[in-house]
Amino acid sequence: MTGKEKVRWDSTRKIIDAAEQIFSKKGFEGATTREIADKAGLPKANIHYYFPTKEDLYVQVLKDILAEWINDAEIFDSSDDPEIAFRAYVSRKIQHSFTRPFASKVWAMEVIGGGTVFDVHLKSSLLEWNTKKCRQINKWIEQGKLRKVNAQYLLYAIWAMTQHYADFEYQTRIINNGQSLGIEQSDEIVENIVQLVLRGVII
């Protein structure tokens, strides 16, 4: 990758990173292209060269995030042992809360706000992901590895708890005396969520 290719790649990367931060603070409507441009260190017109509209950019940011989550969830199928699978999945998800804190927030804002963009571009990917995971949990139940729980509600519970540490980072920081929960606490957090889940579902 040289010359123009590299320039294109660098610029889009810079723009998406900046957009992720601004969208995560203000949501789609509240974010301004100027602010995104400033954070990216590029003129506003340049943003519009790579992403014709604000919405195009927003969609790209959301697609990136879902792709990463779907990737995270692959690990769910990595083991036939639900304990290992749950722990691996939660662990990855929590890691990402710390290493890529803005991504999940953009998603959260989009969904909370009613998912206008979501509806058109992301619905089917999410549904597919969800169906697959439910099927896996139900398989474990059939195999007698898990208690007979509602797979969907269990998935929501795991989702909710892991998301919390990313999305509500600000709230947990306030409660933790203004000190961010760092990567050092992540093992503790993971273990806590996993314990709760396992005691709930392992026979």
- Chain contacts with DNA (rule: CB under 7 A): 2-5, 7-8, 11, 31-35, 42-46, 48-50, 52-55
33 touches, from its own copies, DNA, none (C-beta below 5 to 8 Å by class) = DNA
Closer residue to its own copies in complex, CB, 43/200: 200
Taking the complex as a whole, the smallest distance from the CB of residue 147 to its own copies amounts, in Å, to: 9
Query: In the structure encoding, which two tokens stand for residue 12, read together?
Result: 């889009």
Taking the complex as a whole, the smallest distance from the CB of residue 15 to its own copies amounts, in Å, to: 20
Closer residue to DNA in complex, CB, 37/201: 37
Check binding of 30 to its own copies (CB under 8 A). Answer: yes
d(CA 192, CA 180): 18
- CB under 8 A: which stretch of 46-54, 61-69, 70-78, 170-178 binds its own copies? 170-178
Using CB under 8 A as the criterion, what x/- string covers residues 7-26 for binding its own copies? -----------------xxx
CB 69 within 8 A of CB 79: no
CB 11 within 8 A of CB 46: yes
Q: Is 4 exposed, middle or buried (0-12, 13-18, 19+ CB in 10 A)?
A: exposed
Which residues in 121-140 contact its own copies (CB under 8 A)? 123, 126-127, 130
DSSP 42: S
Check binding of 164 to its own copies (CB under 8 A). Answer: yes
Bridge partners, residue 146, by sequence: 202
d(CA 46, CA 37): 8
Long-range contacts of 171-180 (CB under 8 A, 24+ apart): none
11 touches, from DNA, its own copies, none (C-beta below 5 to 8 Å by class) = DNA
d(CA 164, CA 172): 9
Check binding of 174 to its own copies (CB under 8 A). Answer: yes
Q: What angle do CA 90, 92, 95 make, to 5 degrees?
A: 110
CA atoms within 13 A on the CB side of 114: 3
Q: In this chain, which of 67, 160, 179, 180 binds its own copies, going by CB under 8 A?
A: 160
- Residues near its own copies, by CB under 8 A: 24-31, 105, 108-109, 111-115, 118-119, 123, 126-127, 130, 149-150, 152-153, 156-157, 159-161, 163-165, 167-168, 170-172, 174-175, 188-189, 192-193, 195-197, 199-200
